[in-house]
């Protein structure tokens, strides 16, 4: 929707809120930057704009060493839209190309390799391999700057096929070799990029991958990063929301400070400690296998909704008097997501027609009985949520919750295990919602809540939710029609109304 003159006005204002939404390349220097780069603004005739860092790299530009454009918050387009390009980017960020190649990416999206390449070049300015290389370089940069892993291990961990391939990609994108990039880390003063925390420890065995078992016996790689986000960011309210719903054994919350939880990743288990700070989030990762770094970061970003566009949300919602006051109180509110889409489904089903605390107790009992215990270095929490394969076979008469709810959960688990429900980052949200609704025991509230938290759909709206109906003062059972004016940000409107109610400042609040 923007033209290049509008983009040029943004870079003249050096507005960091637009970082990640486009990139600026300068013909006279051969460098590309983020919109907020502190360097002198180039002349208009010398500037070209690209939608992705990969597109700028493919055009022959290298990244600016001052503003580090390859490490900005992710584009909100990947979350807002459900088109093929956005779904492809979500899969690439989760490492699908590294594990399955471009053919695997194409198959997941239902396109031929040639069709997908044409779509991505037209929409994003770069083919799949270039986009995957940009993602690999992001992970490699973090490993170079925050660990002492050998360069060979960094290359393989980040997804490159060889050190030579890594060297060539680094020279083209950064204008320096990996060794030179590592040598600069002590002199780096950037704090807006993915930066190292004060202490960094890499305790993994560096001779190879750890393996896929949950025991973590092969060792643990500990890594601390800083994840960037767009301002304003209300980390305190994100933590409060997660704390109220934390599953004992799987998650622990340090009130007002940190959220800690286990993760089930592609090559093994992990644990993440998330600490919101003024300009982003500090993340401490304990990884059983360092190849999961990129996927772990992607899931942490999704959990805290770090790629949200608060400017666009405010512009869409502030015109409604019912929301304007809430936006003034909490302008940086996010919609907390999930690190695992099947887990989000389980939370929604278990939470049907019960209180938040009641659902939390039931989920903790399910995790304790059917989850897997891990022994990563770093302590608690130490439980992984049970897999779909395990919950698909649970006897509905087992207790903990009504048998009808167990049947719904088992049916969803079987659909996920069989591949009928796509829980990958590249899933077609509309298709998943329709398939959920076709399962007995799954109604509109459950399906929409899964879309909101599990699939990061910014326009999902559980219109039959009791709190939303109270806050909107509606007698109707479904208030979805009332929310039409809030598209495509209805999920954020719902989050503002839920938060206002919980804090006793909403229209339907008891206090």
Domain end: 19, 51, 71, which one?
71
Record the tokens describing residue 63, joined without a space.
Answer: 């990244």
Phi and psi at residue 376, in whole multiples of 5°? -65, 145
Q: What global pTM score does this model have?
A: 0.89
Q: Is residue 164 assigned to a domain?
A: no
55, 71, 87 — which closes off a domain?
71
What is the rounded distance in angstroms from the CA atom of residue 74 to the CA atom of residue 97? Answer: 18
Cα–Cα distances (Å) from 344 to 93, 155, 181, 350, 449, in that order, read 20, 33, 39, 10, 9
Locate tokens 């389980």: which residue?
A: 346
Annotated catalytic residue, options 3, 5, 33, 93: 33
Q: For residue 386, tell me if it sits in a domain.
A: yes
Spatial distance between the Cα atoms of 71 and 19, rounded to a whole number of angstroms: 10
Question: Can the peptide bond before residue 488 be classed as cis, meaning omega within 30 degrees of 0?
Answer: yes
In angstroms, the CA 345 to CA 206 distance is 37
From 343, 358, 333, 428, select the one nearest 390 (Cα to Cα): 343
Element of type H or E holding 273: strand 269-277
Residue 244 counted as domain residue: no
Single out the residue in 71, 86, 121 at which a domain terminates: 71
Tens of pLDDT along the chain (511 residues) come to 578 999 999 999 998 888 988 999 999 999 999 999 999 999 999 999 999 999 999 999 999 999 999 888 888 878 777 789 999 999 999 999 999 999 999 999 999 999 999 999 999 999 999 999 999 998 898 888 888 889 999 999 899 989 999 999 999 999 999 999 888 765 553 433 343 332 233 333 222 222 223 333 357 889 999 998 999 999 999 999 999 999 999 999 887 799 999 999 999 999 999 999 987 899 999 999 999 999 999 999 999 999 999 999 999 999 999 999 999 999 999 999 999 999 999 999 999 989 999 999 999 999 999 999 998 887 789 999 999 999 999 999 999 999 999 999 999 999 999 999 999 999 999 999 999 999 999 999 999 999 999 999 999 999 999 999 999 987 788 999 999 999 999 999 999 999 999 999 987 654 3
Locate tokens 């109220």: which residue?
244
How many residues appear in the chain? 511
Residues of the domain holding 13: 4-71
DSSP E strands: which ranges in 200-267? 221-228, 251-254, 258-264
Instruction: Domain count for the chain, please give it.
Output: 2
Annotation marks residue 33 as catalytic: yes
418-443 in b/e form (b: 16+ CB < 10 A) is eeebbbebbbbbeebbebbeebebbe
Structure tokens at 177: 């070799």
Which H, E and C letters describe 167-205, residue by residue? HHHHHHHHCCCHHHHHHCHHHCCCCCCCCECCCCCCCCC
Q: Is residue 385 part of a domain?
A: yes
Residue 67 lies in a domain: yes
Domain presence at residue 253 = no
**Euclidean distance between CA atoms 311 and 319, whole angstroms:** 13
Separation between Cα atoms, residue 175 and residue 330, nearest integer Å? 41
Tell me the CA distances in angstroms from 129 to 113, 171, 486, one per residue in order. 11, 17, 37
Specify the CATH number for the domain of residue 28.
3.40.10.10
Cα torsion for 87, 481, 312, 118, to the nearest 10°? Answer: 30
The active-site residue out of 19, 83, 465, 478 is 465
Query: Interior CA angle at 402 toward 399 and 407, to 5°?
Result: 95
3-state helix, strand, coil in the chain (%, to 5): 50, 10, 40
Domain-embedded: residue 338: yes
Say which CATH number the domain at 470 has: 1.10.340.30
Q: Is residue 221 one of the residues assigned to a domain?
A: no
Give the separation between CA 420 and CA 27, rounded to whole angstroms. 48
């Amino acid at each position: 929707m923007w033209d290049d003159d509008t983009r040029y006005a943004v870079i003249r204002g050096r507005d960091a809120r637009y970082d990640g939404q486009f990139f600026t390349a300068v013909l006279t220097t051969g460098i590309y930057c983020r919109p907020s780069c502190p360097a002198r603004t180039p002349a208009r005739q010398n500037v070209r704009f690209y939608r992705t860092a990969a597109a700028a790299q493919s055009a022959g530009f290298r990244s600016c060493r001052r503003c580090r454009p390859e490490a900005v918050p992710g584009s909100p387009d990947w979350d807002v839209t459900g088109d093929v390009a956005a779904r492809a980017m979500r899969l690439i960020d989760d490492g699908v190309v590294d594990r399955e190649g471009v053919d695997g990416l194409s198959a997941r999206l239902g396109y031929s390799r040639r069709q997908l390449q044409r779509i991505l070049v037209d929409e994003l300015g770069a083919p799949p391999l270039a986009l995957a290389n940009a993602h690999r370089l992001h992970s490699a940069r973090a490993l170079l700057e925050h660990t002492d892993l050998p360069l060979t291990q960094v290359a393989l961990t980040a997804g490159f096929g060889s050190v030579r391939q890594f060297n060539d990609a680094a020279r083209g994108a950064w204008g320096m070799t990996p060794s030179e990039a590592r040598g600069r880390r002590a002199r780096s003063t950037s704090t807006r990029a993915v930066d190292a925390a004060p202490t960094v420890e890499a305790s993994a065995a560096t001779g190879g991958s750890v393996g896929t078992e949950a025991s973590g016996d092969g060792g643990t790689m500990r890594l601390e990063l800083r994840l960037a986000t767009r301002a304003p960011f209300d980390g305190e309210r994100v933590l409060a929301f997660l704390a109220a719903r934390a599953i004992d054994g799987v998650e622990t919350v340090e009130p007002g400070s940190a959220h800690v939880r286990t993760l089930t990743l592609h090559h093994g288990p992990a644990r993440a400690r998330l600490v919101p700070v003024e300009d982003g989030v500090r993340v401490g990762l304990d990884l059983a296998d360092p190849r999961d770094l990129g996927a772990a970061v992607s899931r942490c970003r999704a959990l805290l909704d770090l790629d949200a566009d608060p400017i666009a949300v405010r512009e869409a919602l502030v015109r409604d008097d019912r929301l304007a006051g809430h936006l003034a109180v909490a302008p940086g509110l996010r919609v907390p997501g999930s690190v695992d889409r099947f887990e989000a489904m389980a939370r929604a089903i278990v939470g049907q027609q019960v209180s938040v605390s009641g659902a939390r107790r039931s989920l903790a009992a399910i995790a304790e009985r059917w989850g897997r215990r891990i022994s990563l270095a770093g302590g608690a929490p130490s439980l992984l949520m049970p897999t779909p394969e395990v919950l698909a076979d649970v006897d509905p008469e087992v207790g903990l919750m009504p048998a009808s709810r167990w049947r719904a959960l088992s049916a969803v688990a079987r659909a996920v295990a069989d591949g009928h429900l796509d829980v990958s980052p590249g899933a077609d949200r509309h298709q998943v919602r329709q398939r959920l609704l076709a399962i007995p025991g799954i109604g509109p509230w459950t399906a929409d809540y899964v879309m909101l938290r599990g699939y990061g759909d910014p326009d999902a709206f559980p219109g039959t939710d009791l709190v939303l109906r109270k806050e909107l003062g509606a007698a109707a059972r479904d208030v979805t029609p009332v929310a039409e004016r809030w598209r495509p940000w209805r999920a954020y409107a719902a989050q503002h109304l839920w938060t206002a109610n919980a804090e006793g400042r909403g229209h339907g609040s008891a206090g």
